[in-house]
Structure formats: C-alpha cells, structure tokens
C-alpha cells in the first residue's frame, strides 16, 4: 500500500521534470537557430492563408521611374535638388499630411549654387517632411544639418532580410546596429507613426495614415 502511495506521489514530479526538460530543450534549439527554418515556413504559411490585404488608399507612392531617368539623361544622384524642393511644395499644396523622402541628402549638392538652400526652405515650410538615415560601413549616414533642422522625423532604412533573402519583419528599433553604434536607431516606421500621432492626434484611426501620406 505504501509503495503505491509513494509511486503516485512521484509521478507528478517526473511529469514536471519532463515538462521542464522539454521546455529547456526547445528554448535551446530556438536560441541555436535549429527551429528558425520552421518558424519562417510558419510565417509564410500564415500570410498565404491570410491572403492579400488592401490598404485604405491613404498612402501614395511617388517614385522615380526609368522613363524619368532616361528623360533627364543623368544619374539620380546628379538630379538638381530644386526638383525635390518643387515636389515637396506641390505635395504640400495637394494636401499631403506627411512626406517621406527616401533619398540620400548626406552630402552637399554638386549642382548649381542655392539648390541646398531651396530644398531646406521647402522642407522647413512644409513642416511635414521625414528624412532617412542609413548604415554604411559601420557608421550612421544622416542628412545634412541644414535639412534636418526642418524635418519632423528621421528613420533608419537599412533592411536585414532572413537568411533565405526574404524580408519578413521590420522592428521598430534596430537593436543589433544600436549595440554597434552605441545609440538607439529607429526604423522609418517609428518616426513616421510618431509624427502622424503628434501632428494629428484627434482624427487618425489607429490603422489609417491620416488623410494622405506621400512616400
């Protein structure tokens, strides 16, 4: 009788130890990366099952296409910054709530004198421009201070895809790069959302980008 009671008491302990052991084993496999392929397959499967989700139409992409490059007959880096200044003014007049300039403005213009001043004035007057920074050879590359003084936000645009080359997620803050550079570096989505909520706190639905956002 006593042996049966002892056996009944020890069984839950063995079950608890077995559960803890399996949990630790799975955690070790996750940290070691053994389960990463399965996790990526799970992500792909869930997105496939969800299907395509249409956005509300409040985000508009203004892109530089190959036709424009051919018509100007020069590299994008050699375009006059007066064009960008004029684009910001037109978008502002058209009612853009926020304008994200995904371009490199880290060096002074090599074009005509006054281009940088014209762009800086357009950024300041719009009061809705978000600029971008990126990492190159281990250092942060930011826009010129003359442009940063008029921006309403700034975000990191480097992307770190998964080992299979697919970009599945973008964190709010790059912890890996932050450790290397000794500062917190927000991805572009965080300053964009911060500027949206700061500028339009009363009328923005949590999942709608104001009226129109131009990227």
| Domain locations in the chain as residue ranges | 2-50, 59-214
Q: What is the pLDDT of residues 1-35, one digit of tens each?
A: 545 545 555 556 777 777 787 888 777 766 766 77
- Strand (E) positions, the chain? 59-60, 98-101, 129-136, 139-141, 153-156, 213-214
Q: What is the DSSP letter of 35?
A: T
In this predicted structure, the answer to whether residue 78 has a pLDDT above a threshold of 60 is yes
User: How far is residue 87's CA from residue 81's CA, in Å, rounded to a whole number?
Assistant: 10
Give which of 104, 106, 98 is closest to 123, Cα–Cα: 98
pTM: 0.70
Q: What is the pLDDT of residues 30-72, one digit of tens each?
A: 676 677 788 888 888 988 998 888 876 678 888 888 888 888 7
Provide the pLDDT for residue 213.
43
């Amino acid at each position: 009788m006593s042996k049966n009671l002892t056996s009944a008491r020890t069984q839950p302990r063995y079950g608890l130890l077995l559960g803890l052991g399996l949990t630790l084993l799975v955690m070790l496999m996750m940290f070691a990366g053994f389960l990463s392929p399965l996790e990526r397959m799970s992500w792909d499967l869930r997105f496939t099952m969800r299907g395509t989700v249409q956005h509300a139409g409040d985000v508009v992409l203004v892109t530089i296409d190959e036709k424009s490059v051919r018509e100007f007959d020069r590299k994008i880096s050699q375009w006059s910054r007066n064009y960008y200044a004029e684009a910001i003014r037109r978008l502002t007049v058209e009612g853009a709530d926020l304008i994200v300039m995904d371009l490199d403005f880290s060096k002074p213009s090599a074009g005509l004198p006054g281009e940088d001043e014209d762009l800086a004035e357009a950024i300041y007057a719009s009061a809705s421009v978000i600029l971008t920074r990126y990492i190159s050879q281990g250092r942060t590359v930011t826009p010129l201070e003359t442009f940063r003084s008029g921006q309403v936000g700034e975000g990191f645009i480097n992307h770190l895809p998964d080992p299979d080359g697919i970009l599945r997620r973008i964190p709010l803050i790059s912890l890996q790069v932050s450790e290397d550079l000794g500062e917190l570096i927000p991805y572009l989505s965080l300053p964009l959302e911060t500027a949206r909520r700061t500028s339009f706190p009363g009328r923005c639905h949590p999942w709608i980008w104001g009226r129109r956002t131009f990227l």
